[in-house]
Amino acid sequence: MTILSCDTAIEEVTDLREAHQVIAQLRWAVGYLQRYASLAERVAERADNEFATFLDPEYAHKLRLLYQQGQLLPDQEPGAQLDELIARMVQEAIDQRWSQTHYA
């Protein structure tokens, strides 16, 4: 068995305390990340009638400008939510395409 000097023993105890603190922080972080991952999975689940899309930067910019200028839809009301307007645009485009391909 090795006998440590008083200074070395104090350093070892301090290092051990720091190690315990780091381990406790890491355990907390792992728990947090596990809870966050679980929440992220639930949020990522979509309803059957929910869709997501990504636009090229050019079109994302145009979309934002039209929305900010109140010109995204001809009858865009002030204060209308962007996601609601996008849903209307898509529905109108689907209706138009449907009427072109499915004769009533």
The span from the CA of 82 to the CA of 25, in Å, is: 41
Question: What are the boundaries of each domain within the chain?
Answer: 1-45, 57-101
SS3 sequence, 13-80?
HHHHHHHHHHHHHHHHHHHHHHHHHHHHHHHHCCCCCCCCCCCCHHHHHHHHHHHHCCCCCCCCCCCC
pLDDT of residue 2: 62
The mean pLDDT of 25-46, rounded to a whole number, is 82
Tokens of 31: 């728990």
In this prediction, residue 6 carries a pLDDT of: 62
Q: Which amino acid is at 47?
A: A
Using CA atoms, how far apart are residues 47 and 45, in angstroms rounded to an integer? 7
pLDDT, tens digit (0-9, with 9 covering 90-100), for 40-80: 777 777 777 878 889 999 999 999 999 999 999 999 999 99
